[in-house]
Amino acid sequence: MDEDIILESASERSSWKDRTPGQTEVRIVADFQAGWRLDLFLVHHFPEYSRVLLRKAIQSEGVFVDGKRGKPAYRLVPGQKVEFTLPELPRESPVPEDIPLEILYEDEDLAVVNKPPDMVVHPSRGHWSGTMVGALAFRYANQLSTVRGPGRPGIVHRLDRDTSGAILVAKNDIAHARLAALFENKKIQKEYFAIVLGVPNVDRDIVDLPIGHHPKNREKMRIAPDDPEAKQAQTFFEVADRFRGFSTIRALPKTGRTHQIRVHLAHYGCPVLCDKLYGGRAEITLGEIAGMRELRSESPENADQADLILLNRQALHARKITFLHPESGKQITVEAPIPKDMEQTIAALKKYRSLDDRKTAK
């Protein structure tokens, strides 16, 4: 259970519009919610509020469990009564911005957008403008789902700021509810493509290790087998191509934990290239891949290109998404082309880091 899981019924998914800040909402813990953290229980029932805002509400005595003050990490028991006094939403609807979007697929119920790198999905502290939500609001006006509140119209799931690729957008609340249910039941398949440091010694493998919050760095996640708050996480990966010191990887997450692919690949010893949080570097240049000697041997002009930055964000791309259409039930697969910065990095690897006995996964 994570912040991207929405509500369990279409009627309740759109009921945020009937709520008034200051009123108290009551929810009874269901059997399937046994052991859920209180903050995630509230995320599930009140997706218009961020997890950070819900934690603040809990800590300011705005949430009670069976009449007693709650704590964010409190584990719930079926039958308990949760009372939540609704806080003010921090912002109203996003400001529409005329930002171009590449639409990979579209019909009356949904769209699939190829999110560029360095774009935040929805507004947050420090990122009130230039978001995908602002671009969607400009393009579609009021033709988006309202399930997640006025600050996140159409948003069913997310990608990290520096991760590019395919992301689903719902155009109405019914489509949103059905897509969210597919995510919750793990019936939407996402395939990622990554350039990594290092070369795995197998063609394919599964990393099945729980992920939890880092105890000292709030921005990071970590492998945490001994942390009771950690969540099960499973990622299948397959080597697409090998180079000297680098590889390209297909990754299929079976769960949807925060930073899952990045954490799992780093733990495996092959961190995503230019992942400054888990890989220790923020950019890579042509000279670092080719080597100065090689560049000089080609021509003086090439040597002048040694400082050319090929990539300055994590080399992770949501390449493909497969789902059942919420209205027709037809299976749809949408693929997002590899972005230019990753393409030029791969081209440099093929030119300067190729292996004579290179193996490609079948």
Q: Is 160 one of the catalytic residues?
A: yes
Under a CB-based contact definition with an 8 Å cutoff, are residues 265 and 194 in contact? yes
CA–CA separation, 232 and 220 (whole Å) = 17
Residue 158: which residues within 8 A CB-CB, separation 6 or more? 4, 121, 122, 167
What tokens does 115 get? Answer: 């999110």
* Cα–Cα distance, 350 to 271 (Å, whole number): 19
* Phi/psi at 132 (5° precision): -65, -35
Q: Which of 272, 178, 249, 258 is nearest to 218 (CA)?
A: 258
Q: What does the alpha-carbon distance between residue 170 and residue 157 come to, in Å, rounded to a whole number? A: 10
For residue 115, what are the β-bridge partners?
165
Are the CB atoms for 85 and 22 separated by under 8 Å? yes
Catalytic residue (choose from 4, 160, 241, 275): 160
Question: CA-CA distance, 45 to 86, in Å (whole number)?
Answer: 12
Cβ pair 65, 42 in contact under 8 A:
no
- Distance, in Å, from the CA atom of 286 to the CA atom of 147, rounded to the nearest integer, reads 45
CB 34 within 8 A of CB 201: no
DSSP readout, 13-33? HTGGGG--TT-EEEEEPPGGG
Query: Residue 160 CA to chain centroid, in angstroms?
Result: 5
Residues known to be catalytic: 160
